[in-house]
Amino acid sequence: MKLFSLASGSSGNCYLVQSSAGHNILIDCGLSAKKVQQYLAGFGVQIHQLSAIFLTHDHSDHVSGVGTISQRWGVVVYANSKTLEAARLRWEKLHRVAVEQTDRSGAADSGTVRPPAISKYNLQVLPTGAVIWFGSLQVSSFPVSHDAADTVCYTLRENECQATILTDLGCATNVIFEPLCRSDLIILEANHSLERLQKSRYPYYLKARITSDHGHLSNLQSGKILQEIIERSSPAHLVWLAHLSQESNQPEIAKHEISHQLEMAGIHKFPLHVAQRDKPSLQWNGEPAVYQIPMF
Ligand SMILES: [Zn+2]
Ligand SMILES: [Zn+2]
């Protein structure tokens, strides 16, 4: 199994997973179809070759390109029933807006092409907790606390290697630890620095939403989750920090605040990597993670 971060943040989230038998799946796609087509081409993948797209939840930074991809290329979309229904409504609204815009600009430019009428999305219900196989690649979900219709996170497993993508949640619940402790790769939300968020220009209601149990994880919360994983299992996890806020976080701040939390727990010099917001960045080739106890 290989896993690539194509984009991570409030302007779009998308991960590409490749099985050893050549299945290509996306976890979320909050990018335009055009952009994801361009990114996939960089990995030698044509968009029609996607075996599936899995949705964690229906917020636009996770689903905005999925309706077009499913409609145009017939790619199957898996999610639980509440997420599929909420995402479908969002895609239909996006389509209406696009039609209205082209109709308006079409009055001045007769060459404008109207978006095609919605035909059908290829949607498949995957109940939360169910497991689905693509050859030897296993995909399963578990629920998390976030303010969308019915948010989940995904675990991917093949040949004793496991990755878990844990973004978009407001607090740690017991159910997250078992899959995380067993994962070689952990993609962990580090959305904001609490101090930066409080000083930010965001209105009060937005700050309250982000810091609620149904919002997003702060660096401190992520550090505590990571500490608990390491204490329960081992430090042998590769960790990518993800879904950083542009307004109230920075890669160096996230790494510093999380490392500080770990240092206080006696976990020294734990390596942390940060997925970039708006372009493909990190890549994992399915190797088990190694942590070397620092000598100094
Ligand atoms: Zn998000
Ligand atoms: Zn969200």
Q: Which amino acid is at 58?
A: D
pLDDT tens, 145-196? Answer: 999 999 999 999 999 999 999 999 999 999 999 999 999 999 999 999 999 9
Domain membership flag for residue 294: no
292 in a structural domain = no
CA of 296 to the centre of ligand 2 (A): 40
Q: Which residues fall inside 5 Å of ion ligand 2, going by CB?
A: 59, 168
Average pLDDT, the chain: 94
Q: Where are the beta strands (DSSP E) in the chain?
A: 2-7, 14-18, 24-29, 50-54, 77-79, 123-125, 131-134, 137-143, 152-158, 161-166, 185-189, 238-242, 273-274, 283-284
pTM of this structure: 0.94
Amino acid 108: pLDDT: 55
- Tell me the CA–centroid distance for residue 54 and ligand 2, in Å: 14
CA of 156 to the centre of ligand 2 (A): 20
Is 295 within a domain? Answer: no
Q: What is the pLDDT of residues 99-118, one digit of tens each?
A: 888 888 765 565 666 666 66
Q: Which residues surround ligand 1, an ion (CB under 5 A)?
A: 61, 168
236 or 110, which is more confident?
236
Considering the domain boundaries, does residue 291 fall inside one?
no
Q: Residue 263 belongs to a domain with what CATH number? A: 3.60.15.10
Range of the domain at 59: 2-284
110 or 11, greater pLDDT: 11
**Structural domains counted in the chain:** 1
289 belongs to a structural domain = no
